[in-house]
Amino acid sequence: MKKTLRLILGDQLNQKHSWFKEVNHDILYVMMEMRQETDYVTHHIQKVVAFFSAMRAFKIEMQEKGHQFLYLGINDANNKQSLKENIKRIIEERNIEHFEYLLPDEYRLDEQLKALCDEITISSSSVDTEHFLTQRNDIATFFKGKKQFLMENFYRKMRKDHDILMEGKEPVGGKWNFDHDNRNKYKGEVPIPPAYSYKNDVSEVISDIKKANIKTIGFVDAENFHWPIDRKQALQFARYFCRELLPHFGTYQDAMHTEEKFLFHSRISFALNSKLIGPKELVEKIIEAWKENQDKINIAQVEGYIRQVIGWREYMRGIYWAKMPDYAEKNFFEHDRKLPDFYWTGETKMRCMEKSIKQSLSEAYAHHIQRLMVTGNFALLNMTDPDEVDQWYLGIYIDAIEWVEITNTRGMSQFADGGIVGSKPYLSSANYMHKMSNYCTNCHYDHKKKTGDRACPFNSLYWNFYDNHRDKLAKNQRIAMMYRTWDKKSAQEKEELLKQADYYLTHVNEL
């Protein structure tokens, strides 16, 4: 009988962890597919498939290296579908003397494992996942005493601490941030390389999911699952990105296009969040590619990507651990409306929403601007209950794990945290959509019209939002100009805008 039991969760697939440096036959690793994880929100079918597939592949690779594994499939008869109950049963049946686990990245799982360790009679301990560049509490310590946590300050500290894109004490290129150079609309100026993909056959996994009667959303191709599901595939995705996409990534990272789902994005977030690949090694590959191809890749492309990995990603994780569990209850605007029905179908006459939502349903993917400035923007203008928004984002995207989803959604997208993450609400009228995409072309609605027949809903809802929340936002210096503009409008124009917005809110499921 194995004496030590080690738990590996579905987003802890780090082959380079020190646990695996040596083979010890007195250690039993356990992995579990559980209803507790598939059912806490309604997930996209591709998300469930990706995690189950990656977990199974990880188990096989580690077994081939000599490590001992116990794997509970979703339909195994002795699977109690509960983390605590499964661990308790295994400890009892196998006479386990010590239990170890990797620190979870989700608060609910952290609480479950702490409670479990209090209940079991054997010794237990936890270790770091050895994935992130920061510790859980680093952000809380860095911003101690501050009301707002400015990401830019943290990002600069990360660059300095890890000597990334630095020349001594100064940033490479003379600037810390090239975001201003990375806001171009894509008009076909440069060809977009084919999306890198695999033809993974996941029909067995899908069969198991259907047999378990797990409720999911979205669509999946059982014989051509294109997401990376093991470390080798994740590394190939990274190499392809560096070679083919990085030269134009930054320039068009905020662009949206009706015919281009992925543009120059790496689509490596699932592999990163499940720890098939690490942030430090990914950054090293980006920098190496840049140094070898400086005639093709400029600093703006590189900095834009690295900022997302070592800046935004680590920052959001730090906010999560600094503010949970209260963060999940924050609702600064006291919004309580339902998420419109078309978020689950994509059936809407708003072309930007239709394209972004249908893409999300078909690919379990949308890039950050589609999430923030299209679907998130409309949810905010609709004054949607942030609980509803959280559940949708957490379920529909393949890379969505609560630590990164809730801070982006409830924080940045919905401003439900009242300004911890962002200094102002991220919302816009149709003007932004037209500026950054071709979505407005041939749309049922006219992006130029604010009121009247076929006026774009984003326009009147935009001003309605500011009017509704003046008491909470008027003193915010970053949006003072919006209120000055609003105040200059005539009483009649204000009335028409608010009337238009009220009609759209009342008939939101007909838009």
Query: At 54, which CATH number?
Result: 3.40.50.620
Give the pLDDT band (50/70/90) at residue 423: confident
Mean pLDDT of 200-225: 95
Q: With 80 as the cut, is the pLDDT of residue 147 above it?
A: no
pLDDT for 479-490, tens place per residue? 988 999 999 999
Nearest to 70 by CA among 154, 17, 128, 4: 4
Q: Can you give the pLDDT at residue 295?
A: 87
Nearest to 9 by CA among 49, 47, 45, 59: 59
Does residue 251 fall inside a structural domain? yes
Does residue 329 fall inside a structural domain? no
Give pTM, 2 decimals.
Answer: 0.94
Q: State whether 417 and 351 are in the same domain.
A: yes
Q: What whole-number distance in Å separates Cα of residue 348 and Cα of residue 342?
A: 6
Q: State whether 79 and 173 are in the same domain.
A: no
User: What's the domain range around 428?
Assistant: 341-510
Q: State whether 260 and 393 are in the same domain.
A: no
Q: State whether 118 and 10 are in the same domain.
A: yes
Cβ atoms of residues 278 and 15 within 8 Å: no
Mean pLDDT of 130-141: 93
Mean pLDDT of 121-149: 89
Weakest mean pLDDT among 13-17, 144-148, 442-446 = 144-148
Give the pLDDT band (50/70/90) at residue 142: confident
Number of domains in the chain: 3
Q: State whether 108 and 148 are in the same domain.
A: no
Q: State whether 114 and 152 are in the same domain.
A: no
pLDDT for 47-105, tens place per residue? 999 999 999 999 999 999 999 999 999 999 999 999 999 999 999 999 999 999 999 99
Q: State whether 156 and 122 are in the same domain.
A: no
Q: With 70 as the cut, is the pLDDT of residue 134 above it?
A: yes
**What end-to-end distance do the CA atoms of the chain give, in Å?**
62
Cβ atoms of residues 319 and 419 within 8 Å: no
Q: Can you give the pLDDT at residue 1?
A: 57
Reduced to 3 states, what is the DSSP secondary structure of residue 257? strand
| Domain's final residue, options 93, 127, 161 | 127
Q: State whether 193 and 257 are in the same domain.
A: yes
Please report the DSSP string for 7-46 in residue order. Answer: E--TT---TTSGGGSS--TTEEEEEE--HHHHTTTT-BHH
| Domain's final residue, options 127, 152, 183 | 127
Give the pLDDT band (50/70/90) at residue 422: confident
Q: State whether 247 and 364 are in the same domain.
A: no
> Cis (ω within 30 of 0) for the bond into 279?
no
pLDDT for 302-346, tens place per residue? 999 999 999 999 999 999 999 999 999 999 999 999 999 999 999
Q: What whole-number distance in Å separates Cα of residue 105 and Cα of residue 12?
A: 9
Mean pLDDT of 218-245: 94
Cβ atoms of residues 396 and 44 within 8 Å: yes
Give the pLDDT band (50/70/90) at residue 177: confident
Weakest mean pLDDT among 3-17, 33-47, 147-161, 383-397 = 147-161
Q: State whether 476 and 378 are in the same domain.
A: yes
Q: What whole-number distance in Å separates Cα of residue 264 and Cα of residue 256?
A: 11
* CATH code assigned at 308: 1.25.40.80
Does residue 330 fall inside a structural domain? no
Q: State whether 122 and 260 are in the same domain.
A: no
* CATH code assigned at 464: 1.10.579.10
Q: State whether 351 and 307 are in the same domain.
A: no
Please report the DSSP string for 153-189 in residue order. Answer: HHHHHHHHHTT-SEETTEEGGG-S--GGGS-PPP-SS
